[in-house]
Amino acid sequence: MIVLLYFWSIPSASVPLAIAHMALDRSGLNRLKKNSTISFYKLLGTGKGESFTPLDADPHRWGMLISLPESEISRFDNSALVNNWRKFARSEVRFTLKPISAHGMWSGQEPFTPISLPDWNGPVAAITRAKIVPRENLRFWKSVPPVSKSLHESEGLLAAIGIGEAPIGLQGTFSLWRDGASLKEFAYNGAAHRQAIANTNTFRWYSEELFARFAVIEQRGDFESPSIRQN
């Protein structure tokens, strides 16, 4: 299976249209999932990822994640679901990803099936996603800024963006790295991230969580916003 991840930058006048598509596109994606064209999808809002509160939200960027057979890439990329976003988007970034590792659940599913790519030395992407226990929201938000600062200062980081399915409680990040070694250095040796892992074990503030790592097979387009680091 291949994962396609789209991000669209939207002009202010088209924000209401983007919000409408976030609701309307679910029916079309559900039909594709029912007939096995796709195995998993998520429509995503975005943000800076600095606090994971509504203040982080960016109404000018929206995303779509799709897991589907490699043979279906061209058909889906030229579908009405995607082309309708292109009609009003300022720009598009599309990542073609192959899962290397995945741990945890997303909406009760294991959405990504890892494949072995032992010789991969190109760019990698990481997706983290968590469902936060409501009583732990405040404690979680207070823990985020040091981790976000460490992430954006990490050697080898190419881009990072907050992603979410709702303004509060269903939060995550997408990050793009020069190579797997850079990602591992941040994940396992960064003091702020190690403390966040320890706090997660102590406070159990997630009712569901996922960490997945991907080989970046193709990146088409670039992030246009200066608020997103893109080297």
Helices and strands of the chain, counted as H and E runs = 6, 8
pLDDT at position 229, please?
45
How far from each other are the two terminal CA atoms of the chain, in whole angstroms? 28
Environment class of 115 (CB within 10 Å of its CB; exposed 0-12, middle 13-18, buried 19+) = exposed
pLDDT attached to residue 171:
78
The closest of 231, 220, 227 to 59, measured between CA atoms, is 227
Q: Residue type for 142, please?
A: K
Which residues touch 90 (CB under 8 Å, ≥6 apart)? 8, 9, 10, 11, 224
Q: What is the pLDDT of residues 136-186, one digit of tens each?
A: 667 776 767 667 777 777 889 999 888 988 765 567 889 999 999 998 888
Q: Is 74's pLDDT higher than 90? A: yes
> For position 189, what pLDDT does the model report?
74
pLDDT tens, position by position, 2-38: 999 999 999 999 999 999 999 999 999 999 999 889 9
Q: Domains in the chain, ordered, with CATH? A: 2-220 (3.30.70.100)
| Structure-token match 């226990």, residue found | 133
Average of per-residue pLDDT values in the chain = 85
Place of tokens 């960490």: 211
Q: Is 53 exposed, middle or buried (0-12, 13-18, 19+ CB in 10 A)?
A: middle
What are the angstrom distances between the C-alpha of 194 and each of 17, 37, 48, 75, 131?
40, 39, 21, 42, 20
**Contact call for residues 9 and 97 (beta carbons, < 8 A):** no
3-state DSSP of 197-227: HHHHHHHCCEEEEEEEEEEEEEEECCCCCCC
pLDDT surpassing 60 at residue 115:
yes
Q: What is the pLDDT of residue 63?
A: 95
Average pLDDT over residues 98-104: 94
Q: For the CA atoms of 190, 193, 195, 197, what is the dihedral angle to 10 degrees?
A: -130
The pair of three-digit structure tokens given for residue 125, joined into one six-digit string? 């992407």
**Lowest pLDDT segment from 48-57, 170-179, 200-209:** 48-57
Q: For residue 157, give the DSSP letter.
A: E
Q: Percentage of residues in the chain with pLDDT exceeding 90?
A: 55
